[in-house]
Amino acid sequence: MGGVLPQRAWGVADASSPDNTSRESQTEMAGRGANLLDVIPERTRAFRDEDNGTVTVLIPRFGDGRVGGVLEKFFRSSPITLHLDEMGTAVWRLCDGQRSVYEIGDCLKAKFGDRIDPIYERLGAFLHQMRRVGIIDWRT
């Protein structure tokens, strides 16, 4: 599967992996005592739709602040582009600030079936990776 983020998070799951992450590890991943399945992810970056149906996320090269804006204009730089594959695009579109991780998982299961198993383990890893690079945030 293509794409920088999805390739790692949506790669082939270890055969010994459980079908779902334990409630304790979900809580630990969400932080502040929240269960990951209950958090609501929301996109924080601009994006563009590609002709092939996927999404490219646009990340400011020098950050979001005033200085970053000045540097981008001075160096005439374009944003960093992050190309998502089919599954990454589906997750991105579902991170609308309205759906919980549990609801997103249900939508993905309906769309991709067994190809996406173990769903919540893979979804949790991908969401954490997206949050770590600053393209989503979440609320509880």
Mean local confidence (pLDDT), 39-63: 94
> For the segment 98-139, what is each residue's pLDDT rounded down to a tens digit?
999 999 999 999 999 999 999 999 999 999 999 999 999 998
Could you tell me the pLDDT band of residue 31, with boundaries at 50, 70 and 90?
low
pLDDT band at 30 (very low <50, low <70, confident <90, very high): low
Instruction: Provide the pLDDT for residue 106.
Output: 96
What is the mean predicted confidence (pLDDT) over 6-20? 34
Following DSSP, what letter does each residue of the chain receive, concatenated? Answer: --BHHHHHHTSPPPTT--SS--HHHHHHHH-TT--GGG-EEEE-SEEEE-TTS-EEEEE-TT-SSHHHHHHHHHHTPPPEEEEB-HHHHHHHHH-BSSS-HHHHHHHHHHHHGGGG-SHHHHHHHHHHHHHHTTSEEEE-
Whether the full predicted model's pTM is greater than 0.85, yes or no, is: no
